[in-house]
Amino acid sequence: MNVKNVKYKNQGIHAIAAIFTIENGEISVLLIKRKREPFKGKWILTGGAVYNDENVDKGLKREIKEKTGLTDLYFEQFGVFSEPKRSPMLRMIAITYVALVDIKNANIIKETSNTLNAEWFNINDIPKLGYDHEEILDKALEYLKKIILKSDIVKVLLPKHFTMPELQKIYEMLLNKKIDRRNFRKKLLNLGLIEETNYENLGRVGKPPKFYKFKDVITEKNIL
Amino acid sequence: MNVKNVKYKNQGIHAIAAIFTIENGEISVLLIKRKREPFKGKWILTGGAVYNDENVDKGLKREIKEKTGLTDLYFEQFGVFSEPKRSPMLRMIAITYVALVDIKNANIIKETSNTLNAEWFNINDIPKLGYDHEEILDKALEYLKKIILKSDIVKVLLPKHFTMPELQKIYEMLLNKKIDRRNFRKKLLNLGLIEETNYENLGRVGKPPKFYKFKDVITEKNIL
DNA sequence: CCAAAAGTGTTCAGCCTACACCCATGC
DNA sequence: GCATGGGTGTAGGCTGAACACTTTTGG
């Protein structure tokens, strides 16, 4: 069946993710450079059009894989951008996501049939973006800060076994503020997302840290 | 420009609202009965396809007005439903909303060119719905309970001047639990959304209540 | 004066913040 | 033994929950 009513013909869905990672102690976001019009040569967030046989999550995964090679990331939907003119030519509605990926697993494909380049940009040094992606990026960062204490989303940024100071650094970077060591430990243990392990790793300066891991089973109570 | 790639041709956007009100001390949701296939004769939530020159909010407002006559309601977007088969025939993605309306202003159009009927249904007595609207309704109720303490959304359900017990009854109905009178008063006043007025209204049994109103200016701090 | 409805205050528990000293290791 | 980095506890303020009596009106 084809759409006949011209009032809502030729609409499409964009699934768009602000993919974040932590690199050299700073938050970066992955941008891709467009190969075609519109916005040819401009940097944009990762994403693209959802196919008819996909739900939006699946379309996003496929687009990310096609345009960056990334397959193993955590993502969460946070918004809808639907101004009629947000995309020139076709009417596209964007379903937007925050995603996190571990830089160590992040082997980025630089060029594809649709993209000229892909690069991590420090979030304090973002170029002008195509479409309405600057607005989407702003909202994504805001959302990330809001959910970071209510989910185990940071899991992907850490090795299986990690220490409190390692975990704390990630929160400090994402939230962009200093946190008290004692309070942080109490809070995180209280949240019930992580548990101590008997993993050990000596050979470093200073008192050896305890190691923790994210619990395998996250109960309802944990993730609000 | 027309879509050529068949993989994402003929997609469309549904804006769909679970419109709630409080009637005889119970929560009701507005359902409309479809006049055409698919789901001809079935009850569904209010909504329809977004036009090309509208953002989703605007499309929702238009659809609600066309199909129910309602113009003055509070609504908030909460989700996206995108399973490929959620709508038979055309591939439609649903952007979903919670809406609230004051029953006293709710003069419902019963039949339109697209609908056979429109009626309020007690949420404990919902018929089988078309599309995936049962799932949407469940999620909408869940969302409503979550935001009710963080926004002035209940404003539309109350007269300009209202008493604490009146306000409390609405919260108790929406949250479906008893709340302690003293704690409720402290909490609501603390939230800073409402303020006392010198409105008076005697002639009722019992000690005369104080009247309150929602503040005209809601500051950033108030709505988290 | 009595029935009905509204107003009010205290205590306890849990959570957040601020803050300083001790401990185990490598060199 | 000393430098480095990690671990730990306590006190004050805020928030949410539990709980019972007094006040004002209409009839």
Q: pLDDT tens digit string along B96-143?
A: 999 999 877 778 999 999 999 999 999 999 999 999 999 999 999 999
Order of strands across the sheet with B211-214? B162-163, B211-214, B194-197
Under DSSP, the state recorded for A81 is: E
Nucleotides of D under 7 A from a protein CB: 3-10, 15-20, 23-27
Whether pLDDT at A224 is above 50: no
Cα–Cα dist B119/B132, whole Å: 19
A132-170, pLDDT tens digit by residue?
Answer: 999 999 999 999 998 887 788 898 899 899 999 999 999
Confidence of residue A3 (pLDDT cuts 50, 70, 90): low
Task: Please give the pLDDT value at position A107.
Answer: 83
Residue contact A89–B7, C-beta within 8 A: no
Q: Is the dihedral of CA B172, B174, B175, B176 positive or negative?
A: positive
Cα–Cα dist B210/B197, whole Å: 8
Residue limits of CATH 1.10.10.10 in chain A = 153-214
**Best residue of A93, A142, A145, A150 to probe chain B, by most B CBs closer than 10 Å:** A93
Assess whether the previous peptide bond of B38 is cis (omega < 30° from 0). Answer: yes
Whether pLDDT at A129 is above 80: yes
Mean pLDDT of chain A: 90
Confidence of residue A11 (pLDDT cuts 50, 70, 90): confident
CB A95 within 8 A of CB A77: yes
CATH number of B153-214: 1.10.10.10
Task: Give the residue carrying structure tokens 């420009």.
Answer: B1
Distance of CA A71 to the CA centre of its chain: 12
Distances in Å between the Cα of A42 and the Cα atoms of A19, A118, A121, A135 are: 17, 11, 14, 15
Under-70 pLDDT residues of chain B: 1-9, 217-224
Mean pLDDT of A9-19: 91
CA of B97 vs chain A CAs: smallest distance (Å): 12
Residues pairing with A80 in the sheet: A95
Q: What's the number of CA atoms in the CB half-sphere (13 Å) around residue B121?
A: 19
Whether pLDDT at A125 is above 70: yes
Cα–Cα dist A117/A80, whole Å: 26
Q: Give the chain B residue whose CA is nearest to the CA of A95.
A: B80
Residue limits of CATH 3.90.79.10 in chain B = 10-148
Task: Please give the pLDDT value at position B126.
Answer: 97
Both tokens assigned to A102: 């571990």
Task: Please give the pLDDT value at position A81.
Answer: 98
Task: State the fold for domain B10-148.
Answer: Nucleoside Triphosphate Pyrophosphohydrolase (3.90.79)
Q: Decide: CB of A194 under 7 A of nucleic strand D.
A: no
B6-15, pLDDT tens digit by residue?
Answer: 666 678 999 9
